[in-house]
């Protein structure tokens, strides 16, 4: 008697395809996505997908970043190192992108884990890693929008590190002649529609994955958002000072 045929798995059951679809769906149906992975949090495949996307974006932004490096080296009075603006630098950047994404995600997850536990949620570090990485599609979108704006301006428009600054935040509401420091500007840039969207995904993810009530989950998300904005603003200020922007 012939053995019964085994149905071939559908493409949607392939982990990489399933997680790629979830990374898109989480933008519009976060409750459904986090509900699906509540019992089996998934991080590594989504992290790999996000890392690949970021590596692609880094490659696209390569000419603009090379122009900034060139300006910084010229202003320092040092001779231009061989290959400082060549493809090797872009390849190295692409290789290190997954490590950077993992490090940032781990730090963010640690913050969420501590805050969620403090508010009484049944958090695990893996669950918070999962929530964190599923917020990153919005960062990919933001970086793509940055590339689109820079492409419209052209590489020749980059005359300092500050010319790489593309914001969709509250700093756009400031009059053009308003002089604010990089730190304040970065804080305002961290308050915008993409950041609010990200905080909403974070709050829904925490509530769904840990059972924390919605009000407390939003509190955790907002505190985490505020910490991220302050840290990013501080690093931006230091970076601009170093680059002479």
- Residue 96 falls within a domain, yes or no? yes
CA distance 212 to 164: 39
Residues (pLDDT < 70) of the chain are 1-13, 75-90, 176-177, 241-245
- Residue 189 falls within a domain, yes or no? yes
Parent domain of 227: 15-243
- Residue 9 falls within a domain, yes or no? no
Other CB atoms closer than 10 Å to residue 8's CB: what's the count? 7
Other CB atoms closer than 10 Å to residue 242's CB: what's the count? 10
- Residue 1 falls within a domain, yes or no? no
The string of DSSP codes covering 27-59 is TT-HHHHHHHTSSS---HHHHHHHHHHHHHHHH
Q: What is the pLDDT of residue 82?
A: 54
- Residue 122 falls within a domain, yes or no? yes
- Residue 4 falls within a domain, yes or no? no
- Residue 3 falls within a domain, yes or no? no
Q: Quote the number of domains for the chain.
A: 1
- Residue 185 falls within a domain, yes or no? yes
Q: What is the pLDDT of residue 87?
A: 64
Q: What is the pLDDT of residue 71?
A: 75
pTM of the complete model: 0.84
Q: What is the pLDDT of residue 171?
A: 81
The string of DSSP codes covering 111-173 is HHHHHHHHTT----HHHHHHHHHTTTHHHHHHHHHHHHHHHHH-GGG--SGGGG----SGGGG
């Amino acid at each position: 008697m012939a053995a019964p045929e085994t149905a071939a798995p559908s493409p949607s059951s392939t982990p990489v395809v399933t997680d790629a679809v979830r990374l898109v769906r989480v933008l519009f149906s976060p409750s459904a996505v986090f509900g699906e992975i509540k019992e089996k949090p998934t991080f590594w495949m989504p992290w790999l997908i996000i890392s690949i996307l970021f590596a692609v974006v880094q490659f696209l932004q390569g000419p603009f970043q090379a122009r900034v490096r060139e300006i910084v080296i010229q202003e320092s009075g040092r001779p231009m190192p061989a290959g400082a603006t060549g493809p090797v630098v872009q390849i190295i950047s692409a290789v290190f992108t997954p490590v950077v994404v993992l490090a940032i995600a781990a730090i963010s997850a640690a913050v969420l884990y501590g805050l969620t536990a403090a508010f009484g949620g049944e958090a695990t570090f893996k669950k918070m890693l999962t929530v964190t990485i599923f917020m990153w599609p919005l960062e990919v979108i933001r970086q793509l929008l940055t590339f689109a704006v820079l492409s419209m301006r052209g590489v020749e428009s980059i005359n300092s590190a500050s010319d790489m600054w593309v914001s969709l935040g509250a700093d756009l509401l400031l009059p053009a002649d308003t002089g604010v420091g990089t730190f304040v500007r970065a804080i305002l840039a961290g308050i915008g529609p993409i950041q609010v969207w990200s905080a909403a995904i974070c709050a829904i993810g925490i509530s769904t994955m840990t059972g924390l009530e919605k009000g407390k989950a939003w509190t955790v998300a907002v505190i985490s958002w505020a910490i991220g904005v302050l840290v990013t603003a501080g690093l931006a200020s230091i970076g601009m000072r170093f680059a002479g922007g």
